[in-house]
């Protein structure tokens, strides 16, 4: 009697991951510091009892959050791909959550299959501190910020540009070309129209991001919002690659990787598309 062929349990699994970056030294695994990749790889190793490598769509810096980071790993396991999210969550600490998991083709790659990434930076401009916003925003109360001037400065960024002015040193990337698909700066709505909201959100979507790009960009953009630099001056600076004039990097805690885009993503939008709620602050009663 002929025996049946063995069933292969090898699979490539994609994950949508949320994490609070406060206590992490970034995404990438490090020998002596806690990282998101390291925590998830350690959990995977406990489950399958051997090392597993996790590949992320991008590397967030120390202190940066993610609402829908994407990663994948290869594993030979009878656990169905759709169940890896719940299995991993039972092993992970409270500052990491796997929102979803799914099987992907063997040639699908979390980094190289992605067509865009989107980041949001949140500024909290009220003169009084707010404990519940502190982990997710830069409390910038030194001078009023004009979001319309900031938007005017962002508009010329859309397109294919060499953004060396916003490229930190110690990066292994050989060039600074970036395709910026969208760049917006908005002041959030407030329940009472006569009160200006103290929250400003800057969002940039691009094919990829340079090392430190968003934080350097925001650090310079607040000068435009203050009125000490014009939108045209902002544009001229990055077009002429005056990296020495970009001296300040905005704090990491205000930055969040919102989501990553793919031509054919195997998970529904509710898992990955809008998972970081807009922060709102009620206005003072009349």
Q: Given 42, 61, 155, 232, which residue is catalytic?
A: 61
Among residues 57, 69, 43, 163, the alpha carbon closest in space to that of 112 is found at: 57
> What does pTM read for this prediction?
0.92
60: its two tokens: 């967030």
- Architecture per CATH, domain 116-262, reads as 2-Layer Sandwich (3.30)
Share of the chain above pLDDT 90, in %: 85
- Architecture per CATH, domain 11-104, reads as 2-Layer Sandwich (3.30)
Query: Does residue 193 register a pLDDT over 60?
Result: no
Which pLDDT belongs to residue 188? Answer: 85
Which pLDDT belongs to residue 143? Answer: 87
* CATH 3.30.70.660 location in the chain: 116-262
Which pLDDT belongs to residue 169? Answer: 75
92: its two tokens: 């992970």
* CATH 3.30.70.580 location in the chain: 11-104
Q: Work out the mean pLDDT of the chain and round it to a whole number.
A: 92
Higher per-residue confidence, 26 vs 281: 26
According to DSSP, the β-strands at 159-162 and 55-56 are unpaired
Whether residue 264 lies in the annotated active site: no
Q: Quickly state the pLDDT bin for 286 (edges 50, 70, 90).
A: very low
Q: Which tens digits make up the pLDDT trace of 149-174?
A: 999 999 999 999 999 999 987 666 77
Among residues 137, 216, 221, the alpha carbon closest in space to that of 185 is found at: 221
Q: Quickly state the pLDDT bin for 277 (edges 50, 70, 90).
A: confident
């Amino acid at each position: 009697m002929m025996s049946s062929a063995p069933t292969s349990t090898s699979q490539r699994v994609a994950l949508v991951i949320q994490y609070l970056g406060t206590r992490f030294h970034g995404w990438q695994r490090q020998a002596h510091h806690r990282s998101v990749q390291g925590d998830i790889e350690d959990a995977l190793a406990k489950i399958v009892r051997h090392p597993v490598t996790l590949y992320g769509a991008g590397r967030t810096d120390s202190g940066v959050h993610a609402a829908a980071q994407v990663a994948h790993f290869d594993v030979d396991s009878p656990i169905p791909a759709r169940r890896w999210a719940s299995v991993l969550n039972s092993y992970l600490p409270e500052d990491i959550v796997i929102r979803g998991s799914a099987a992907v083709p063997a040639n699908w790659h979390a980094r190289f299959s992605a067509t865009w990434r989107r980041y949001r930076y949140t500024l909290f401009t009220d003169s009084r501190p707010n404990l519940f916003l502190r982990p997710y925003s830069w409390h910038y109360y030194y001078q009023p910020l004009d979001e319309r001037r900031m938007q005017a400065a962002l508009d010329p960024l859309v397109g294919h540009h060499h953004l060396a002015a916003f490229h930190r040193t110690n990066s292994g990337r050989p060039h600074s070309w970036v395709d910026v698909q969208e760049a917006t700066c908005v002041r959030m709505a407030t329940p009472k129209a006569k009160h200006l909201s103290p929250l400003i959100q800057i969002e940039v979507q691009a094919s990829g991001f340079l090392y430190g790009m968003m934080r350097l960009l925001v650090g310079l953009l607040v000068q435009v919002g203050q009125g000490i630099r014009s939108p045209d001056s902002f544009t001229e600076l990055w077009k002429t690659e005056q990296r020495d004039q970009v001296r300040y990097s905005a704090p990491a805690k205000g930055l969040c990787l919102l989501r990553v885009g793919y031509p054919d993503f195997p998970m529904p939008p509710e898992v990955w598309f809008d998972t970081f709620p807009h922060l709102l602050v009620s206005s003072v009663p009349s």
